[in-house]
Structure 1
Amino acid sequence: MSHPRSLRFLPALALTACISGPGTPDNPLPARPPVELAPPAGDAWHRHAVFYEVFVRSFQDSNGDGKGDLPGLISRLDYLNDGDPNTTTDLGVDALWLMPVFDSPSYHGYDVVDYERIHPDYGTVEDFERLCAEAHRRGMRVILDLVINHSSSQHPWFVESASSRTSAKRDWYQWSDTDLAWAPPWDLFSRGSTWHKLNGAYYYGVFWSGMPDLNLRTAAVSEEVKRIASFWLGKGADGFRLDAARYLIETSGGLVGQADTPETHAFWKEFAAHVRSVKPDAVLVGENWTTTPTIATYYGSTAQVPGGDELQLNFNFPLAEELLKAARTGDGSGVTLKLAEMRTRYPVGVADAPFLTNHDHVRVATQLGGNTGQLATAASLLLTLQGSPFLYYGEEVGLANGTSNNDEAKRTPMVWDASAGAGFTTGTPWFSFSPGRESAQVAAQSNAPGSLLSRYRGLIRARHASEALDRGGLRLLTSTEGRAPTLAFLRTWGEERVLVVHNLTGGTETAGPFALEGESAEVLFAAPSAGSLVRGDSGWSVTLPAHATGIWRLR
């Protein structure tokens, strides 16, 4: 949502990366063990799916009111995945994440007033059921943004809770006779308070007064949340993206009492078990915007449930920063160090959820200044790493931020073509289109082999054509020491071995030699101007032009 934010190794493969270290010829340092990340455990669909985040209001308007809706989204499903693996004109994503679609007084929907009603701007519950059916027919899944940390202050639950100290729903929210003056957990030096005055008492709302926190320690609230989850799973949803997952249950002020509490983890275990009982293959995706060690805890225990008994996917915010930094600076050293940290911190066999940006970030195209080479590099990095990558709508065509500084500017309407309404609407769009729409549009890039959209399509096709890329482990071949103008790693699954090499810079770079087994190399993805992968006495090497990526299956 929008608010202030503050391993079991792979079997030995008898291969090593030929990289230099800081030792001397006479006194070499001991070789460091290679950074290896095991493949995700289990065969659940979400452990290797490519997800696509959709802000329904901005994707496709079907009735000319300037606001996107579910029927409009249905009309664009073939762009996302047409259900035919032999075609090359669709993006090829495996799952959709819908930002909030429940009834809400706001444009963004993170303050819900009715958890069982679709926002009237978007359609009806029946429209949602039809969306799920059409997506499933094409081989796509659909997950919903479920906001259970808080409701809207206009929700009937809160209105009743606030009406009287003796209200039957008084304990559905947290109340105090005094302002406890807890600073927000992301800014402990703030003079603001997370307690808000109403009717002679104070209620807790960590984000703002319009979003009072639900009291999930109250059994009736916990059961109601689980019932709501069951309701939408029954309507065709394949899981949930869980907003503000760190902040569910507070025990005191400060950071320790307002974020990552043991009670929060206990609730997620309980909620996850319920969801598994209703729909065993449903996925839970956690928004835990924090450090790598803390994110790792939200997978829970892997002892009984492959991939973890809390949240099966957790967005990798620290890695997202490093991916964009690598694309911007031409240095992948931050990525190598982050992968090394994940190796030591993440439970064995869990599935990562890498991404570049989402609805709370300045868009990739704006952060990278519209640099086409850097945008291509960012896409290539994201879609060759292991786990379940998430794309933000419009990212695939280089959609930029709007001209204002508010959150709406990060969520502007999709640009489909050069018409007045950009193919998005026949009316007046709810928010102005982003600048650069002449080139950052689907129609202009669909049939252009060198376009950003073509790269995204090609990378996703390559990913699906290789089990190693799709679901395999990762062995880092680039050193974790010093600058890294190229980034290389080996993806493995069974007997399949796939070498991935990225040139992160704006000039020509040679990578290797890599002492990897194999007599020949099959190209899975490569820029037309990329050099060939060559096997010499010391191993495989390749010379790549600026911002090029090569992917080869070694045989």
Structure 2
Amino acid sequence: MGLRWLAMLAAALLAALPPGVGFAASDYRSPEGHANTPASAPSRSGVWYEIFVRAWYDTDGDGIGDLNGVTEKLDYLKSLGVDGIWLMPINPSPSYHGYDVTDYRAVNPQYGTLADLHRLLEAAHARGIRVIMDLVVNHTSDRHPWFLAAPYPADPHHAWYSWAGPGTDLDARSATGGQAWHALGKQHYLGIFTSGMPDLDFDTPAVRKEIIAIGRYWLAQGVDGFRLDAARHIYDDFAATADDPAMLHRNLAWWSAFHGAMKAARPDVYLVGEVTRDEPKQLAPWYGPLNAVFDFPLAAQLVESARNERSGKLVELLKRVAAEIPAGQDAPFLSNHDQERVMSQLDGNAQHMRTAAAMLLTLPGRPFIYYGEELGMRGRKPDPDLREPMRWHRDPHGPGESRWKRFSAGDGPDVSADAEEGDAHSLLARYRMLIDWRRELPVLRDGVLHVPDVPNRRLATWELTDAGHDVLVVHNLSRKPQTLKLGGPLARFRQVRLASDPGGRVAAGQLQLPAYASVVLQ
């Protein structure tokens, strides 16, 4: 019954799409298929970089980062080796973060103009860098014209939002843990995040049609895809239904239809979703309806393994990832704009930060880096302190530095792009090296993952294979040298192809690894 119901819903969703839009959600190319990428370009790293434009780089002196600032710093991103950037919300919004949109077809005037975005896209594509933007459609701002008209039942936009009926439990908890229903006069509307973010009702055909049109609009401007905010909450609204298969099916049907419509406009569109679940098996159904979803369970475990200097639960988790997630399509990361920065989670331990980065950037898939992570920027809750200005100069008041808020993390002048640029031993240099490994050995990006049973829990070890390569990745998580006997199934790995430390070597059938070192054997 479940599959038939899903098919019926998908058909209904498709019926609301514009003419000529097809449904082929599982037939997509990887991000490396971008038409603007020169045929002679070097191998791709598959790495994405998340940017909060407000905090990035200011070109007009108002203290707020802008789109021209992103363009200004594309060469920095190119030197880092990333292939794509994710722009946090750039639409008009009454908030500093932008996750409550008031106009889906415009650019936040604090960030610039549509012409500025076009220049950014052209410059990025000329460097082989793709650009995706946040698409925040689970909800609008309560100041959006749609919602301002919605309280009036005679207005068509009334049906664009969800309103409580006579039997509604007005005390119901939302799927995000807060109050689900909010009063507006004598009515109550659904807003699972806050009262300022009323949820759109995707059972209304006009809503689905408009969201499809918005996506097609931005693709026509040259954007390469979308990061889909709150992707699991299109229908998963209440804490009581968080694990209801019907909610999952309805979400997947909608995103399958959306993906099909976007592919009809742009075959190589990239869609990555925010799906906050705890297990790879809960993420697996989203592959196909979307290109990828962020791997939240893996992010938490990578940080924990680096912090504790033990693989811990990483081995079993990676085995589940290998079993559930299509090869080369995972979207691993360490932290993002909603989480405490990695360096803060690791209590400022630079070696642990290097270890976490090394694990992230030697796993298959399309890893995401949060801006400033490569410099070791710190940041703890509340949320604004996780989104502080990017540190370009030793002097935080240097040219181009965003001043949208004061620094709270206490990072000194050494945590800056200027300070780390010429330092071969800096964290920035380590990130560049690791990303370059992915370009040199595409198997690190696209390989099939296999996790051997290695008794030494001070090591994190996995194999990656593709048509031309078979490699073993080994990380010493600890402060002491470690050895790995290369016997049995591992006996074929005898040569060090890449190493973060020259002391990593194979001798007498054993791999010898210095403290916190990483190697790739072939």
TM-score by length of 1: 0.82
Aligned to 1:469: 444
Aligned to 1:65: 62
Partner residue of 2:340 out of 362, 371, 376: 362
* Change in CA separation of 1:485 and 1:198 when aligned onto 2, cut-off 3 Å: same
Aligned to 1:15: none
Aligned to 1:243: 229
Distance 2:244 2:330 in 1: 25
* Change in CA separation of 1:217 and 1:42 when aligned onto 2, cut-off 3 Å: closer
Residues 61-115 of structure 1 show CA distances to partners (whole Å, capped at 9, x for unaligned) of 111111110001110000001xxxxxxxx10000000000100000000000001
- 3-state SS in 1 of match to 2:391: coil
Contact 2:336 2:370 in 1 (8 A): yes
Contact 2:499 2:517 in 1 (8 A): no
* 1:119-130 to 2 correspondences below 5 Å: 119-130=108-119
Partner residue of 1:338 out of 317, 335, 347: 317
Residues 363-385 of structure 1 show CA distances to partners (whole Å, capped at 9, x for unaligned) of 00111111111010000000000
Distance 1:194 1:483 in 2: 47
Partner residue of 2:465 out of 474, 492, 505: 492
Aligned to 1:416: 392
- 3-state SS in 1 of match to 2:423: coil
- 3-state SS in 1 of match to 2:464: strand
Distance 1:69 1:469 in 2: 34
Aligned to 1:135: 124
* Change in CA separation of 1:251 and 1:517 when aligned onto 2, cut-off 3 Å: closer
Query: Residue 406 of structure 1: CA displacement?
Result: 1.5
Aligned to 2:485: 512
Distance 1:504 1:79 in 2: 29
Aligned to 2:383: 407
Aligned to 2:5: none
Query: Residue 444 of structure 1: CA displacement?
Result: 1.2
Distance 2:316 2:148 in 1: 49
Contact 1:508 1:545 in 2 (8 A): yes
- 3-state SS in 2 of match to 1:176: coil
- 3-state SS in 2 of match to 1:384: coil
Aligned to 1:261: 248
* Change in CA separation of 1:447 and 1:477 when aligned onto 2, cut-off 3 Å: farther
* 1:14-93 to 2 correspondences below 5 Å: 44-45=30-31, 49-81=46-78, 90-93=79-82
Aligned to 1:27: none
Partner residue of 1:285 out of 266, 269, 272: 272
* Change in CA separation of 1:46 and 1:339 when aligned onto 2, cut-off 3 Å: farther
Higher fraction of strand: 1
- 3-state SS in 2 of match to 1:169: helix
Q: Which moved more, 1:493-502 or 1:63-72?
A: 493-502
Aligned to 1:11: none
Distance 1:547 1:288 in 2: 32
Larger RCO (CA under 8 A, 6+ residues apart): 1
Aligned to 1:439: 414
2:319 partner amino acid: A
Aligned to 2:518: 549
Distance 1:457 1:352 in 2: 21
Q: Which moved more, 1:509-518 or 1:383-392?
A: 509-518
1:379 partner amino acid: A
- 3-state SS in 1 of match to 2:106: strand
- 3-state SS in 2 of match to 1:117: coil
- 3-state SS in 1 of match to 2:473: strand
* Change in CA separation of 1:473 and 1:432 when aligned onto 2, cut-off 3 Å: same
Partner residue of 2:89 out of 100, 108, 131: 100
Aligned to 1:524: 498
- 3-state SS in 1 of match to 2:182: strand
2:356 partner amino acid: A
Which stretches in structure 2 are left out of the alignment for 5+ residues?
1-25, 34-44
* Change in CA separation of 1:359 and 1:111 when aligned onto 2, cut-off 3 Å: same
Which stretches in structure 1 are left out of the alignment for 5+ residues?
1-39, 82-89, 300-307
2:275 partner amino acid: N
Contact 1:46 1:388 in 2 (8 A): no
- 3-state SS in 2 of match to 1:333: coil
Give the aligned CA root-mean-square deviation in angstroms: 2.2
* Change in CA separation of 1:483 and 1:165 when aligned onto 2, cut-off 3 Å: farther
Contact 1:526 1:551 in 2 (8 A): no
Q: Confirm or deny that 1:167 pairs with 2:155.
A: yes
Distance 1:328 1:449 in 2: 24
Identity of aligned residues (%): 38
Residues 443-484 of structure 1 show CA distances to partners (whole Å, capped at 9, x for unaligned) of 1111211111111000111110112112111222343xx661
Aligned to 1:185: 175
2:457 partner amino acid: A
Query: Residue 340 of structure 1: CA displacement?
Result: 1.5
Contact 1:249 1:258 in 2 (8 A): no
Contact 1:478 1:489 in 2 (8 A): no
Contact 2:174 2:237 in 1 (8 A): no
Q: Confirm or deny that 1:322 pairs with 2:338.
A: no
* Change in CA separation of 1:198 and 1:77 when aligned onto 2, cut-off 3 Å: same
Distance 2:354 2:319 in 1: 24
* 1:446-465 to 2 correspondences below 5 Å: 446-465=421-440
Partner residue of 1:206 out of 192, 206, 221: 192
Query: Residue 428 of structure 1: CA displacement?
Result: 4.2
Query: Residue 551 of structure 1: CA displacement?
Result: 1.9
Q: Which moved more, 1:212-221 or 1:260-269?
A: 260-269
* Change in CA separation of 1:313 and 1:252 when aligned onto 2, cut-off 3 Å: closer
2:385 partner amino acid: A
Distance 2:237 2:512 in 1: 56
Query: Residue 497 of structure 1: CA displacement?
Result: 1.9
Distance 1:360 1:195 in 2: 23
Query: Residue 355 of structure 1: CA displacement?
Result: 0.3
Query: Residue 186 of structure 1: CA displacement?
Result: 4.2
